Structure formats: C-alpha cells, structure tokens
Amino acid sequence: MTTTTPTTSSPTAAAVTSSTASSGSTTNTGAVANTGLNQLAGNFNEFLQLLTTQLQNQDPLDPLDTNQFTQQLVEFASVEQQVDMNTNMQTLISLQQTSEATSAMQFLGANVTISGSSATLGSNSPATWSLNSPSPATATVTITNSSGQTAYTGTVALNAGSQTYSWNGQGTNGVTWPPGQYNLAVTATGANGQAVTVSTQVQGTVTGVNLSQNPPQLTVGGQSYPISAIQSINSGTAGVLSNLNNSISNLNTSIGSLTQLL
C-alpha cells in the first residue's frame, strides 16, 4: 500500500507575485520615503521565501509548469531591480539636496537681483525697484507697508525695457512714512489702452540662508526668497560665481555617475 502525504494548501507564488507587484506600484508613488522602501524590501524577501518553499514542496508527479515558473522568476527579478532603483534614487535626491545647501551658503554676502516686489526704505535711502516693461506704457504704482496700508499712489511713464523706480517715503498726503519694508504693485496700459504686464525686481545683499526649508531660502533686505527667485548676481561677487560653478560641476559629475547605476 502506498501512503500519500497530504500537502498543506498555500497561496501560489503567482498569487504572491501579483500582490507584490501591486504593493510595489503603490509604494513607487512615494519611493523616496523610507517606509515605502522597507515595505517593498519586505515583500521582496517574502516572495523569495514562498517561492523557495513552493519548489521544495511541489508534487514530483505534477511539477510546476515551466512557463509559469519562468514568469514568476521574471517578476521576482523586476521587484529586485525596483528595490535597487529606489535606493539609488534616494542617494541621488540626497546629493541634490546637499548641493543645494552648499550653493545657498555661497550666496552669503552676494549682491543679487531678485524677482520680487518688496523693497526696504531706509532712514537715509529710498526704496528702489527695477521695473521691466515689454513696451512703452503708462503705469499706476501703489506702495503699501507690511500691514497692507496704502502709503503712496501715483502715475509714472514707463519706457520699453528695464528702468529704476525709487520712492523717498513721502506718502500721497505728504506725510513721511517710517523706514521698513514696502511692497510695490504696478498696473500698466499701452498706447492703445491694452494691458501691459510689468515685472518688478529688487536688488540687495544676501544676509542669511535658511537651510531648514526645501529649497533653501535666502534672506535679502529682511525678506526670504527661494534660490530660484534670483535672476542675476551683480558685479563684485566673482568669488561667489566661481564657487557656485564648481558646486554645479561637482553635482553634475555625481549625477552622471549615479545615473549609470539606474
């Protein structure tokens, strides 16, 4: 008499693979998160254990179908590759954030032009903005303080291109406003009455860098701006430009090396 040992029914590797692939797809939306990577790695190890167990307990008289087994191995390799890719992506993001922080520190002391509308009125210096108009226009300028109170409203003729607008602190009613931060709003129309978009920039010295923000924030004239707001670095900051170019070159080298691993 031949005794057949009953086998315990368990989920097939194919079913596990399907679950793993689905889980990988979910965590891929947050691949940079450690929790997502750990979950994917856990599924990867679980897949390996279940596949090995299945091979050890398959029926010799009815082995696993070759095509099905090959498909499972391909999906297994795909999960392994995804784990490696997520790790490399985390390294790439870390390199980029480090380079951004290093570049931001090198802006300290630099005189820059920033896209913005807030300028500083000093005790002995006017608040100054750079206005850029695509065509000649007549503009209405409105200057408000940090609390939103209107300090001055007036009309100015703009030429095509870049020009400087200064305010000495004298309000519309003739009262002199105290030193501080003031915002400029510009509404302009062309010769035929069409609206003209006028951009505003301010110049100042970078006096601080906040690395706790992403991207890092630069302090100019008491206001915080992202690095992307910088439009130009003015004369007298050759050392900053040189250091910045070196940082960009090093970042490109690191990214190129890591890209070969992806």
pLDDT for res 197: 95
- The sign one gets for the Cα dihedral 167, 173, 179, 185 is negative
Instruction: Give per-residue pLDDT as tens, 98-139.
Output: 676 777 778 888 888 898 899 999 999 999 999 999 999 999
- What's the burial of 104, exposed, middle or buried (CB within 10 Å: 0-12/13-18/19+)? buried
Residue ranges of E strands in the chain: 111-115, 118-121, 127-133, 137-145, 150-158, 161-167, 180-189, 195-196, 199-210, 217-220, 223-226, 230-233
| pLDDT one-digit tens code per residue, 144-186 | 998 999 999 999 999 999 999 999 999 999 999 999 999 999 9
The answer for residues whose C-beta is within 8 angstroms of residue 38's C-beta and 6 or more apart is none
Q: pLDDT tens across 53-69, in order?
A: 877 777 766 766 667 76
For residue 87, pLDDT beyond 80: no
- Measuring CA to CA, which residue among 58, 96, 55, 59 is closest to residue 72? 55
Q: Which long-range contacts (CB under 8 A, 24 or more apart) does 230-234 make?
A: 230/107, 230/112, 230/113, 230/114, 231/112, 231/113, 231/114, 231/115, 231/201, 232/112, 232/113, 233/107, 233/110, 233/111, 233/112, 233/113, 234/110, 234/111, 234/112, 234/113, 234/203
